[in-house]
Every structure is written in structure tokens, then in C-alpha cells.
Amino acid sequence: MTAKIIDGKAFAATIREKVAGHVARLKEEHGITPGLAVVLVGEDPASQVYVRSKGKQTVEVGMNSFEHKLDADTSEADLLALIDTLNKDDSVHGILVQLPLPKHLDEDLVINSISPEKDVDGFHISNVGLLGTGQKSMVPCTPLGSLMMLRDHHGSLSGMNAVVIGRSNIVGKPMAQLLLGDSCTVTIAHSRTKDLAEVVRRADIVVAAVGRPEMVPGDWIKEGATVIDVGINRIERDGKNVLVGDVDFASAKEVAGAITPVPGGVGPMTIACLLANTVTACCRSNDLSEPEGLTA
């Protein structure tokens, strides 16, 4: 069996199109332009690339992009003061603080200072609690994008055995909550899991979010299973720098029913879902009906 390759790049483009349509309607019918504020502290090169890309795509779908670049030695008080200003600014519907923050800043404190309604990353403790109790929340972008791809491929996920490898707060745990919300039987595996190969072999759905290049070989995958590879790992191969996932794509695609590639799978969905979350936040804050198909 050769797996269907789930094209995250193409799927993300359809999400952006939907978002752009809603943005146009919000402008035309209500005179509202959704706005996303991105705060970057310091000069981490990867973060700078992400922030540039987020800003560009925000503008491309017709939304306002507000970028705030602060020095690496910015004090916690100054950062919290900026977030307070953004919380109160009616033209800002989404706020994202790019992680990681420099070590002297308390990430939890900073994230929890964002108004939960504007927390488009879905990391605020209120949103974590709402998601965990099956209530309407802002959903973290990478798990949301992964869920959208699974729903698109399968329709209903009800009753499927899902294994999420990785228990981070930003991917593994919210992913497991979303799958549970769609009535999967969910196992969360992690670095202390025994017989990981056997655990993964039971799965109809495998979500790998570990950060270890190609650690899941094809012979761990059940015939016909759907594999969502969240990992992004930069390695050197044949003298070149290449990106690979947490799954060994070459062997896994021979067994899986469907699989996301790296790059071009989950990655592009993440920013698309950030834009989707911003439109959703804008609609909610203005008591307007939410766009369908853009949230969990």
C-alpha cells in the first residue's frame, strides 16, 4: 500500500481563502477589520522568520498586522504594559507573543496576561481549561490544523484509536483533548512510555509530536493508519541541510493509508489556523456568528 499524501500546503491555502472571504464580509457588512498583534522579544533567528511570515500572511488575507519588536533585555513590566495596551485596543482581536521568550521573562505569567478572548495561540490557562472541559475556547493552532486535516480525510473520527506521541502543552496535550472531543479512544505516549512500538501499532491515527528526527519507523505503523507528523527537525543529509519529521516518511508511506509530509504537511496549517483563530476571535468579540469550519 502506498499512502495518500495529505497536502498541508494546498489545505492551508483553502483555509486562508475562507479566512479572506470572512474578512471581506466583516469589512463590507460591519466595517470591521480583524487585527492581529504579534510581539517578538529579542532576535532569535527562527522566531524572526516566523513573525515575518505571520505578518505577511495576515496582510494577504486582508487583516491588519501589528508587529511589536522589543529588545532582548526588555523588562517584564514593560512587556506586561504592552500586552495590557493591546488587551484594551479594540482594533486588536488577536495577540500572539512569540515563544520562546528570553530567560529573564516568565512565560506563564506573560501568556496568562493576554486577554483569553484575544489569545489566538490558545495557551492561556483559561483556554486550556475550556478546551479540557469541552467548552468553546481558542484552540492551539498546530493541533487545530492537525485535527482539520484528520476530519477532512476521514469525516468522522468517532471510535478510532488515536495515539499522540508527545505530551507538550502546545501540541501533545491539546491534540489529545481535540481527538477525545471527536470521540477517539486516545493514548498519550511520551518519553517514559514502555513498548512504544506496540502502542503505536494499535493506532488508527498516529500524531507524532516529539522533535526527534525519523524516530517512528514504518514497521510501527498499522496497515492503513493515518499519520500526522508534527515534528520539524533540521538534519544534515548527503552534505545538505534538510527538514525531516518525527516519522520515517519513506518507510511509513508504504504502510500508512494517509500521511503528512515534512515539509508541506502540518507546518503550513499552523499559520493558516492562526489567521482562522483571529477571525474567530474578532467575530466573538463583536457578537457576530462565527465562520464555520475554521475552529474545533
Residues annotated within the binding site for NADP(+) are 166-168, 232
CB-wise, 172 or 261, nearer to ligand NAD?
Answer: 172
Q: How far is the CB of 216 from ligand NAD (least distance, A)?
A: 9
Q: Pick from 153, 137, 37: which is nearest to 88 by CA? A: 37
Q: Which of 189, 205, 225, 282 binds ligand NAD (CB under 6 A)?
A: 189
Task: Tell me the residue nearest to ligand NAD as measured from the CB.
Answer: 168
Which H or E run contains 236?
A: strand 233-237
Q: What is the largest CA-CA distance in the chain?
A: 57
- Catalytic one among 18, 57, 119, 121? 121
121 an active-site residue? yes
- Catalytic one among 18, 57, 98, 229? 98
What residues from 233 to 272 belong to the interface with ligand NAD (CB under 6 A)?
Answer: 233, 266-267, 270
CB neighbour class for 245 (10 Å; exposed up to 12, middle 13-18, buried from 19):
buried
Give yes or no for residue 99 binding ligand NAD (CB under 6 A).
no
- Catalytic one among 54, 173, 222, 253? 54
Q: Pick from 212, 143, 210, 153: which is nearest to 178 by CA? A: 143
Give yes or no for residue 210 binding ligand NAD (CB under 6 A).
yes
The span from the CA of 50 to the CA of 38, in Å, is 10
Q: How far is the CB of 244 from ligand NAD (least distance, A)?
A: 10
Query: Strand, helix or coil at 231?
Result: coil
Residue 197, beta-bridge partner list = none
Grid cell, residue 87, equals 488587551
Under 8 Å between Cβ of 272 and 12: yes
What residues from 111 to 150 belong to the interface with ligand NAD (CB under 6 A)?
Answer: 142
Residues tagged active-site: 54, 98, 121
Sites of contact with ligand NAD (CB under 6 A)? 142, 165-168, 170-172, 189-191, 193, 196, 209-212, 230-233, 266-267, 270
